[in-house]
Chain A
Amino acid sequence: MLAHTFEAAGFSTVLVTNMPYWAEKMGVPRTIAVQFPYGHQLGMPGDREMQMTVIRAALSLLEDASEPGTIRELDIQWPQPFDEAKKDWQPLEPSPIVARMLEQRRKAAEQARGRGGP
């Protein structure tokens, strides 16, 4: 949505995302897709080379893309083991909405037990 607003306002935009699903679904002018965990769109902290690789791909896409909706996927391996990376990006405490959902599930389970359910 920000990409739409800025592109329509006269800026050329390029999005770097780990969720190209949304870029395709919503229709984004130019997208670089990375298989990186959330909060790390440009790469690992302190890894200048990885960050520049992503940025240079974004710059190339700005120059190459000839039509809106272009998505270019980068094949950069995230250096952490997957299970570790999947846990590592998540907040130390559940976000408020997730905490609420967990509480609702806990109450529903208690009520089910109270009725003699599983």
Chain B
Amino acid sequence: MPVDSFTYLPGSIANYYRAMQTQRIDPIPWTPLSKPLTESRFALVTTAGINVQGLEPGFDQDGERSNPTWGDPTFRRIPRDTTQDRIGAWHLHLNNRDILADVNVVLPLNRFAELEADGVIGSLAPTCYSFMGYQMDLGEWREKYAPEVAGLMKDEAVDIVLLTPA
């Protein structure tokens, strides 16, 4: 059965999304694998709006509450050895209960550490990243924050990125 992109949405929000205009980028960018997965370094990037408590502040919920058409466009670093008890969850459009129980549902840190230990992948990068996915305007992601994360991932010799939009 085909995946229904709207099945979990309330009807009014599904209709809103269906009516949204988006710009398709053609040609689609394409970077073929340059080496086997067993030699590749992975970074994980989510838009689940999570942070590491004590490392960086959470996403700006007050800003969104005072301007509901705005979402915090910044990103947070999630070191690969972050333990569950240090995960904070800030997305105002999700029930964050399961993320706070098991971060692997949106950012599979432990799963990729296991794949590294088993030799399935070369390595998990020292740093993974979280954005917060409620963005009415993608300009700051496009112009500033996504390129900044790309630069940070290059500095850590990342080859492949697993993306999990929440």
Q: Which residues of A contact B (CB under 8 A)?
A: 1-22, 25-29, 33-35, 37-46, 48, 51-52, 55, 58-59, 62-63, 67-69, 73-75, 82, 85-86, 88-92, 95-101
- For this complex, 28 residue pairs linking A to B, each with C-beta atoms less than 8 Å apart, are A2-B163, A5-B141, A6-B150, A7-B28, A10-B31, A12-B31, A13-B160, A13-B161, A15-B163, A19-B5, A25-B22, A26-B25, A38-B93, A38-B94, A39-B99, A42-B105, A42-B164, A48-B111, A59-B37, A62-B37, A62-B160, A68-B29, A68-B30, A89-B8, A90-B95, A91-B93, A95-B134, A97-B134
Q: Cβ of A68 and Cβ of B27 under 8 Å apart?
A: yes
B: contact size bracket: 35 or more
Q: Cβ of A62 and Cβ of B8 under 8 Å apart?
A: no
A51-B164 Cα distance, complex, nearest whole Å: 12
Besides A8-B29, A38-B166, 6 more A-B contacts (Cβ < 8 Å) are: A6-B161, A7-B31, A11-B31, A35-B7, A38-B8, A51-B108
Residue of B nearest to A87 (CB): B95
Q: How far is the CB of A73 from chain B (nearest CB, A)?
A: 5
A9-B31 Cα distance, complex, nearest whole Å: 9
Q: Cβ of A22 and Cβ of B1 under 8 Å apart?
A: no
For A97, the chain B residues whose CB sits under 8 A away are 68-69, 134
Asked if B54 is at the interface of the complex by the 8 Å CB criterion, the answer is no
Q: Which applies to chain A's interface (DSSP): helix, strand, loop or mixed?
A: mixed
Q: How far is the CB of A58 from chain B (nearest CB, A)?
A: 6
For A6, the chain B residues whose CB sits under 8 A away are 45, 146, 149-150, 153, 161, 163
Q: Cβ of A12 and Cβ of B146 under 8 Å apart?
A: no
Q: How far is the CB of B53 from chain A (nearest CB, A)?
A: 19
Checking A2, A45, A46, A68 against B45 with a beta-carbon cut-off of 8 angstroms, the contacting residue is A2
Q: Cβ of B95 and Cβ of A18 under 8 Å apart?
A: no
Asked whether A39 and B105 contact (CB < 8 A) given A21-B5, A52-B111, A99-B68, the answer is yes
